[in-house]
Amino acid sequence: RVHIAILSRSRFIFSTRRLIEAAKERGHDLTVVNTLACALVMVGGKFTMLHHGEPLERPNVVIPRIGTSVTEYGMSVVKQFELMGVPVLNNRRAIALSRDKLRAAQFMASAGLATPPTVALRDPAGLEALVDQMGGPPVIVKPVRGTQGVGVMLMESVESIRAISETMWGLGQNFVMQKFIAEARGRDIRAFVVGRKVVAAMRRVSNTRDFRANIHRGGRGEPVKLPRAYAQLAVKASTKMGLEVAGVDLLETREGPMLLEVNSSPGLEGIERYTGVNVAAAIIQRAEELGKRPVRRDMTG
């Protein structure tokens, strides 16, 4: 029996609710910690925390469910738990890396993982040559930060790429451009990794002419048995990034699996609905394992 804390702004969010149910089914003590209600205390070399103004009992393990709107402070809360010696699924560094599409693209390419050709720039000089280097239009333009396909655009010409680039720069937005993989249009695979194992996988298919397959954008899911190469790439990507829990998005291409994105706070609703797998239980089981380990304080940045 372990004391699990779930970092979430509401216990009524589907994924949080499922984790609460799974933890109770396994007989664990559980606290839902509102990220924005945490006060971080650093006095005399000691690290503690208040929650809604009251001292927070130190849990054995933390499961962060941090929305993009609270990423910055949320990562500080995660770091505070690490400094208190509490194991966290996932750690601050891994969350920060996964939330920045440019840094994540650099990391994945440097790790030798198969990814679409990717470019980032802040100046229009050489734009056409860079697009040609990716194989020419169309290309995908993605904000560096964002989830659920929000702000992701398919650009069909150099002129449209230039126009949207100048608009985003004018708004102070960084972005990446990626080669559009035509044969994967409107479909991808979401592999859900816990520990070093794919516990569930679904193919997401757009219900419209939208090139994005996200469930939140009206797509539908279907269970899929992953070929070995796809499962290996998903596990390698999440492990290299230091994630214990990850939603890994893969494209099916003629050359084999290609890594699209790694999500450090993947939702449970779609994956559980379309696969019938109790993913929440798998996460709680992994939390149990980490929660029983000896206490270690992470004093790094």
- pLDDT, one tens digit per residue, over 3-17 is 999 999 999 999 999
Residue 70: pLDDT over 70: yes
- Same-domain status, 281 and 187: yes
- Same-domain status, 88 and 125: no
**Domain-located, residue 295:** no
**Domain-located, residue 112:** no
- Same-domain status, 190 and 254: yes
Q: What is the CATH number of the domain that holds 14?
A: 3.40.50.20
- Same-domain status, 174 and 211: no
Least confident of 161-175, 193-207, 249-263: 161-175
**Domain-located, residue 294:** no
pLDDT band for position 278 (cuts 50, 70, 90): very high
- Same-domain status, 14 and 78: yes
Which has more pLDDT, 243 or 126? 243
Range of the domain at 172: 117-180
**Domain-located, residue 104:** no
Q: What is the CATH number of the domain that holds 152?
A: 3.30.1490.20
Residue 143: pLDDT over 60: yes
- Same-domain status, 62 and 142: no
Q: What is the pLDDT of residue 215?
A: 58
Least confident of 5-19, 94-108, 203-217, 235-249: 203-217
What integer best gives the mean pLDDT of the chain?
91
Residue ending a domain, choose from 58, 76, 92: 92
| pLDDT cut 90: percent of the chain above it | 69
Q: What is the pLDDT of residue 217?
A: 56
Q: What is the pLDDT of residue 277?
A: 98
- Same-domain status, 260 and 202: yes
Q: What is the pLDDT of residue 184?
A: 79
DSSP the chain: --EEEEE-S-TTSHHHHHHHHHHHHTT-EEEEE-GGGEEEEEETTEEEEEETTEEPPPPSEEEE---GGGHHHHHHHHHHHHHTT--BSS-HHHHHHHT-HHHHHHHHHHTT-----EE--SS-TTHHHHHHHTTSS-EEEEESS-STTTT-EEE-SHHHHHHHHHHHHHTT--EEEEE--GGGTTEEEEEEEETTEEEEEEEEE-SSS-S---GGGT-EEEE----HHHHHHHHHHHHHTT-SEEEEEEEEETTEEEEEEEESS--SHHHHHHH---HHHHHHHHHHHHHTSPP------
Q: Tens of pLDDT along 184-213?
A: 788 899 999 999 999 999 999 887 665 555
Residue ending a domain, choose from 146, 161, 180: 180
In the chain, the number of structural domains is 3
- Same-domain status, 190 and 251: yes
- Same-domain status, 257 and 202: yes
- Same-domain status, 190 and 281: yes
